[in-house]
Amino acid sequence: MGEAITIANEFSEIRVRRVDSRNGSRLLVESPRTGQWVTLCPLELEALTWQSPQTFSAMIGNPSRPLVPEED
């Protein structure tokens, strides 16, 4: 596991680190406050660069729900 980097402001704090798996490197993104975390592969990270500010606003506006609902 790589060394953790903490990024914070008055609204949030996250910790990121590189983790290696059988499928290659991923970025582990953790929220110490909520205990939630996600691992993202390079393609998922690149997909963040394709998004508009409105996409991020929609995610922040509904923090307890996924942006795209899961199918039953």
Q: Distance of CA 42 to CAs 19, 25, 48, 67, Å?
A: 12, 8, 10, 20
Percent of the chain with pLDDT over 90: 78
Check if the beta carbon of residue 6 is closer than 8 Å to that of residue 17.
Answer: no
| CA 49 to centroid of chain Cα atoms | 13
The whole model's pTM is what?
A: 0.83
Structural domains counted in the chain:
1
The residue range of the domain holding 33 is: 5-61
Domain assignment present for residue 35? The answer is: yes
Domain assignment present for residue 71? The answer is: no
What is the pLDDT, as a whole number, of residue 45?
97
Q: What is the pLDDT of residues 12-43, one digit of tens each?
A: 999 999 999 898 999 999 999 999 999 999 99
Domain assignment present for residue 25? The answer is: yes
Domain assignment present for residue 70? The answer is: no
What is the pLDDT, as a whole number, of residue 35?
95
Check if the beta carbon of residue 16 is closer than 8 Å to that of residue 32.
Answer: no
